Amino acid sequence: MTVTIKDVAKVANVSYSTVSKALNNSPLVKEATKKKVLKVAKELGYEPNLAAKQLVSKRTEVIGLVWPTIERIVLATLVTNISNAFKQTPYSMILSVDTPETAMETFRKFSVDGIIAFAESDLPLESFANIPVVNYGVYKQGDVSYPTIDANHEKAIELAVDHLHRQGHKHIVYAGLLDTTDPLQIEKVESYRKAMKKFSIENCIHEVDTKGLDWQDGYHAVDKILQSDPIPTAIIGGSYDISGGIVRALQEREISIPEEMSIVSYDNIPQMETMEVPMTCVGVPVNELAKEIVSSIIDLIEEKEEDAWIKKLTPVLTVRESTAFNK
């Protein structure tokens, strides 16, 4: 039937406690035996019994990810990247698409060692009874009740403006969600203004409210952009989807990208590369974000730091084919 530690022990000709230690890479067992055990284990197709492990060690090496809503593709991509990042570790991840409350119940049932949450999800703080949590994104400006990972949004937008400015653009419009209380969206526009000032083109500041973050929101924002005077030569799209909509709308009007219009998108996900026009974008690459989140939660579990902190990751500019010199 199922291969246990004892079966491995028998074949490897050592005691089963040695097998256990070998499998856990304990320094108390000789390298040679460790190798032998590992080889036998593999041959027999040994798989550790999680329940037994958990029962004695009180740890599960399982981390729960609360993902209450099927949201924008950026988050979806982040989730898959996080899931991937765990493959390099002894931990596994389970996902709950329930409300935070029921997710917490499930996670307690599984006795997960740690939890990853997104700012969007509004966690029931009380129910965490000393189980480590890492949060992605901030709830409100300045609020850091948990260890929090976030991108340096200000820097990201500055990177976008800088890039366009170097290419000779002055009339750079920011197309994003403006009329909102979402701190992230607010920070992005404000950063845009700041950056325009920094490069002394604040007289060209020009913002278009997309009213949302989706494809159609970008698509419909193009009308407004093209009606302005002077017509901008470059656009900063506030999200992956917004930029996608903008590109399509421009193409339909036969305005060529990047010859007649440059566009830089916020968000840095692999999908940017495979868009109709490979997109120049700014943001923390989603795989880095994922790696950081994963290593943070593991550190937290293994070192049990207590404080809430915030870590702002440095974004990068990825230049592709949607931007060019302004002639």
Partner DNA sequence: AAAATAATTGCAAGCGTTATCAAAAAAAGG
Partner DNA sequence: CCTTTTTTTGATAACGCTTGCAATTATTTT
Q: Which residues bind its own copies (CB under 8 A)?
A: 47-52, 54-55, 60, 70, 73, 76-77, 79-80, 83-84, 87, 92, 94-98, 102, 106, 108-111, 215-216, 219, 248
Q: Which residues on adjacent β-strands are paired with residue 65?
A: 95, 116
DSSP-derived pairing of the beta strands 316-318 and 280-283: antiparallel
| SS3 of residue 279 by DSSP | coil
Cα distances (angstroms) measured from residue 246 to each of 61, 227, 291, 292: 44, 14, 31, 31
| Min dist. Cβ of residue 213 to DNA (A) | 45
Of the two residues 4 and 180, which places its CB atom closer to DNA in the complex? 4
Distances (CA, A) of 130 to 5, 108, 209, 301, 307: 32, 12, 42, 10, 12
CA–CA dist 272, 294 (Å, integer): 23
106 binds, among DNA, its own copies, none (CB under 5 to 8 A by kind): its own copies
Nearest distance in Å: CB 132, DNA: 18
Angstrom distance (rounded) from CA 32 to CA 17: 16
Helix, strand, coil distribution of the chain in percent, nearest 5: 45, 15, 35
Give me the least distance between CB of 58 and DNA, in Å please: 7
Shortest distance, position 109 Cβ to DNA, whole Å: 11
Cβ–Cβ < 8 Å for 284, 239: no
Cα separation, 168 vs 174, in Å, equals: 17
Output the smallest distance, CB 95 to its own copies, in A.
Answer: 4
- Longest Cα–Cα distance of the chain, Å, equals 82
Instruction: Considering the complex, state which of residue 130 and residue 181 has its C-beta at the smaller distance from DNA.
Output: 130
Q: Look at residue 228 and give the partner it binds from DNA, its own copies, none, a contact being a CB closer than 5 to 8 Å depending on partner kind.
A: none
> In 179-227, where does DSSP find H-type helix?
183-198, 215-227
For residue 307, with 0-12 CB atoms within 10 Å meaning exposed, 13-18 middle and 19 or more buried, which class applies? exposed
Can you give the binding site for DNA, defined by CB under 7 A? 1-2, 4-6, 14-18, 20-21, 23-24, 28-33, 46-49, 52-53, 55-57
- Taking the least distance from each CB to its own copies, the nearer of 32 and 51 is 51
Shortest reach from residue 19's CB to its own copies, in Å? 18
Closer Cβ to its own copies, 137 or 244, answer by number: 244
The CB-of-186 to its own copies minimum distance in angstroms stands at 26
Q: With CB cut-offs between 5 and 8 Å by kind, which of DNA, its own copies, none does residue 23 bind?
A: DNA
Query: Binding partner of residue 224 among DNA, its own copies, none, CB under 5 to 8 Å per kind?
Result: none
Nearer to its own copies, 187 or 241 (CB): 241
Q: CB-wise, 220 or 311, nearer to its own copies?
A: 220
Which CB atom, from 83 or from 326, has the smaller least distance to its own copies?
83
Taking the C-alpha atoms of residue 283 and residue 291, their distance in angstroms, rounded to an integer, is 15
Instruction: Answer with the entry of DNA, its own copies, none that 326 interacts with (C-beta below 5 to 8 A by kind).
Output: none
